[in-house]
Structure 1
Amino acid sequence: MQNQSFNQSLLSFLHNSPTPFHAVETMKSTLLDHGFTELKELDHWVIEEGGRYFVTRNASSIIAFTTPTLNFHSSGWRMVGGHTDSPCLKLKPNAQVTRSGYHQLGVEVYGGVLLHTWLDRDLSVAGRVTLKLSSGERVSRLIDFKDPIAVVPNLAIHLNRGVNDGFSVNPQEEILPILGLAKSELELKSVILNQVKLQYPNLDTADLLDFELSMYDTQAPALVGLNKEFICSARLDNLLSCFVGLEALTAAKGSEQPALLICTDHEEVGSLSTSGANGPFLEDVLQRLSPNPEHFVQSINRSMLISADNAHGLHPNYADKHDKLHAPMINSGAVIKVNSNQRYATNSETAGIYRDLANQEGYEVQTFVVRSDMGCGSTVGPIIAGGIGVPTLDIGLPTFGMHSIRELAGSEDAFGLTKVLKRFISTPVLMSSEA
């Protein structure tokens, strides 16, 4: 029953978070409901013992933390990290395209998209717009068309006889979504402003200055399988981990251990941005909490980060893509991710800590190592570990179709990882050397 309620909340979170901006907005709402206070980077911070706080940057990254004690140099932090972005199609600045009697959208590929999965899907548009009001003030707002307004139709097999022998999609010419027939003039700017007026009827908007808008699949997340064994949804990589971290942190009330959740943008394109894990956001926050340089170093060395990002589950149709001894199964527990070349930041101590905590909760643990003849992906884990020096574990939930428009994970795994992260967040001493 607990698991069912958890999964319904997860599905709702995924549905309400079509872009990183919306994901952060949804997380903010949850944090406020759990008694967290929003901090602004421009303000002076007054942090109190027993406090619960969060701060955002660029409206697409968020850090939330609890302060049962202010002696961070002696307690350290229990950190959980994830990322808010997912591979997708983003509208170009001059996105209005008319070709062969159809209105289309010019889009740019963001991250490592499985392009063919975007064909024949009911697509909508969401993101952030920057506006000028009649008063002269400039503001930004989030919009979401919600309804399916575009589609990228496949080419019929009759016109592409060799399609099943090998298929690629040209990202410049063949992935442009169709909005409709060009029977009349269309001004995209007016279409966007009309959506603003629908969502913000009391906003006296004079002009659209710019936008950051993304396409997304309108099909709702769902539990699938004969026994509802799977979660099928867009953006499981990595909103699944963001939700798990959020659930663990908000449940940490009463814990005497300071805990922190960081969910950053731009991981899919390298994390090098003001709001990415390879930017200064996390260090800026931690230094404000530990302004004494020696205390800062002590706090980091008494901390641990669990970087949660999806893992490649063993696909029965492509079993040879895995090392046979490191082939995670869906619904068989979270996966410790190991790479000797530091594409993952796991070491024996951080892995041992997680294994022990999982055993205490009665949950299985799996391990993933990429085949030695294949390249390995990465996460925010090595970036944060290398940036501030925090001991780090890379972990993830087994997933099929990673970077597809619709991914598949287990309906039991996320609940289990949340339970283990709750224990991690509340554990004051992780290694005996800290005592």
Structure 2
Amino acid sequence: MSAPSRFDRGHTDDLMTFLSASPTPYHAVASAAERLEKAGFRQVAEADAWEATSGGKYVLRGGAIVAWYVPEGAAAHTPFRIVGAHTDSPNLRVKPRPDTGAHGWRQVAVEIYGGPLMNSWLDRDLGLAGRLSLRDGSTRLVNVDRPLLRVPQLAIHMDRNVTADGLKLDKQRHLQPVWGLGDTVRDGDLIAFLEDEAGLSRGEVTGWDLMTHSVEPPAYLGRDRELMAGPRMDNLLSVHAGTAALAAVATSGDGLPYIPVLAAFDHEETGSQSDTGADGPLLGTVLERSVFARGGSLEDRARALAGTVCLSSDTGHAVHPNYAERHDPTHHPRVNGGPILKVNVNNRYATDGSGRAVFAAACEKADIPFQTFVSNNSMPCGTTIGPITAARHGISTVDIGVAILSMHSARELCGADDPHLLANALVAFLRP
């Protein structure tokens, strides 16, 4: 796989394919692994002893993936260049007792994951996907990618003030989707349906991690198709760009001064505190074992991390034409203006001046522009895996991303050129 060219819409076409194939974090890491396998990477099991071999390797754990490429002859203390991202997106997730309903409607009980724009999930055709845990201890991915569920909005005739007062949704009462008709709620119906969909026998599924997704496919938008609309761009856009960049660097040959790494975590939208989140030990364990597999010591590990830099890549806010006053007046990132550098002096982002220089050098090498994002002082600033990564591992970290609109909506909007501009910057960062 070659590095994406500056205005190659083929990269954006592939991003749309990736988004469609990745309705859940579990599917996203499987899609990333498939792409890396084609570039010569091989999966290693965490429970096995790791060998001191060069080449591309990756670890899968739930909805997280860490992949890295060891150049031929790399010393044990060789620093890492890391692209960090996250695989999860806000959505509606199925509860442990999913079968519910009332007044002749069959419904699915869901819980709110993260901070979605809840109105964007109303009157939208939804599929259902996720991970099924089986009686024999194995897991199976399932994806019902067709209209199955719908959260119906109350008609305006029964809420005459909604236009003037705004829509008010109760998370418990108003967001339970319908999926059929029936006066009797039968426990086990949904899981039995999914067993059939996955080609499993009844009773094989003993656990599940399931979530809804919009079945409307990604699409180009605008007079000149200069925009792209689609689901889960926060933050599968970065996962896809990081995967493409790592594959491009790995297939370009040895002689790299760093070990390039992709670390895509789950549960960023809920604080990253899990065994697959950025606040867990996964990344640190993989980096340490990589050093030790090459005959290194704790001293080599310390030397490697001292020279390591991480780009935490996550989507950010493009200036909104209808709400420009919500942005900082001197920082108005535009779509198709190139990737953004995120700065916050209160450490909601990890970027400092030296990190800015690293990112600026990568963009200069790639011959692409970049922009800067700073929050309006009167509004709270979001955060990313960047500060967590910097604090947990003592790694110099820089927060970057792509500017989008409608963040946390079931369907977001970006510039059609920005995904491959980001990928170009990541290639230049991983291969300085």
Normalised to the residue count of structure 2, the TM-score between the two structures is 0.94
Per chain length, whose mean CA-contact separation is higher, i.e. which structure has more relative contact order (CA < 8 Å, sep 6+)? Answer: 2
CA distance in 1, matches of 2:326, 2:42: 46
Whether the 8 Å CA contact 1:189–1:208 is kept in 2: the answer is no
Within 5 A, what are the aligned runs for 1:392-403?
Answer: 392-403=397-408
1:75 Cα deviation (Å)? 2.9
Work out which of the residue numbers 47, 54, 61 in structure 2 matches 1:57: 61
1:72 Cα deviation (Å)? 5.0
Match of 1:261 in 2: 262
Match of 1:87 in 2: 90
Match of 2:339 in 1: 334
Cα deviation digits, residues 139-166 of structure 1 (max 9, x gap):
2111111111111111111110110122
Match of 2:234 in 1: 237
Amino acid corresponding to residue 17 of structure 1 in structure 2: S
CA distance in 2, matches of 1:321, 1:6: 32
Q: 1:90 to 1:122 in 2, by over 3 A?
A: same
1:360 Cα deviation (Å)? 2.5
CA distance in 2, matches of 1:173, 1:72: 58
Match of 1:174 in 2: 174
Match of 1:22 in 2: 27
Match of 1:272 in 2: 273
Q: Secondary structure at the match of 1:418?
A: helix
RMSD of aligned residue pairs (Cα, Å): 1.5
Answer yes or no: is 1:345 the counterpart of 2:350: yes
CA distance in 2, matches of 1:69, 1:302: 19
Q: Secondary structure at the match of 1:75?
A: coil
CA distance in 2, matches of 1:205, 1:100: 28
Whether the 8 Å CA contact 1:73–1:302 is kept in 2: the answer is no
Q: 1:399 to 1:168 in 2, by over 3 A?
A: same
Q: 1:422 to 1:188 in 2, by over 3 A?
A: farther
Answer yes or no: is 1:157 the counterpart of 2:156: yes
CA distance in 1, matches of 2:73, 2:341: 31
1:71 Cα deviation (Å)? 4.0
Q: Secondary structure at the match of 1:408?
A: strand
Match of 2:361 in 1: 356
Q: 1:148 to 1:188 in 2, by over 3 A?
A: farther
Within 5 A, what are the aligned runs for 1:342-421?
Answer: 342-421=347-426
Whether the 8 Å CA contact 1:72–1:258 is kept in 2: the answer is no
Amino acid corresponding to residue 289 of structure 1 in structure 2: S
1:350 Cα deviation (Å)? 1.1
CA distance in 1, matches of 2:276, 2:75: 24
1:192 Cα deviation (Å)? 2.8
Match of 2:137 in 1: 138
Whether the 8 Å CA contact 2:113–2:270 is kept in 1: the answer is yes
Identity of counterpart residues, as a percentage? 36
Q: Secondary structure at the match of 1:316?
A: coil
Work out which of the residue numbers 209, 213, 230 in structure 1 matches 2:210: 213
Q: Secondary structure at the match of 1:138?
A: coil
Q: 1:339 to 1:111 in 2, by over 3 A?
A: same
1:188 Cα deviation (Å)? 5.8
Q: Secondary structure at the match of 1:251?
A: helix
Amino acid corresponding to residue 140 of structure 2 in structure 1: R
Match of 1:286 in 2: 287
Cα deviation digits, residues 76-114 of structure 1 (max 9, x gap):
111100000000000110111121110011110000111
1:337 Cα deviation (Å)? 0.1
Any stretches of 5+ residues in structure 2 without a counterpart?
Answer: none
User: Once structures 1 and 2 are overlaid, which stretch shifts more, 64-73 or 117-126?
Assistant: 64-73
Q: 1:265 to 1:72 in 2, by over 3 A?
A: farther
CA distance in 2, matches of 1:267, 1:41: 22
Amino acid corresponding to residue 277 of structure 2 in structure 1: G
Amino acid corresponding to residue 335 of structure 1 in structure 2: I
Whether the 8 Å CA contact 2:218–2:228 is kept in 1: the answer is yes
User: Once structures 1 and 2 are overlaid, which stretch shifts more, 66-75 or 241-250?
Assistant: 66-75
| Matched pairs, number | 418
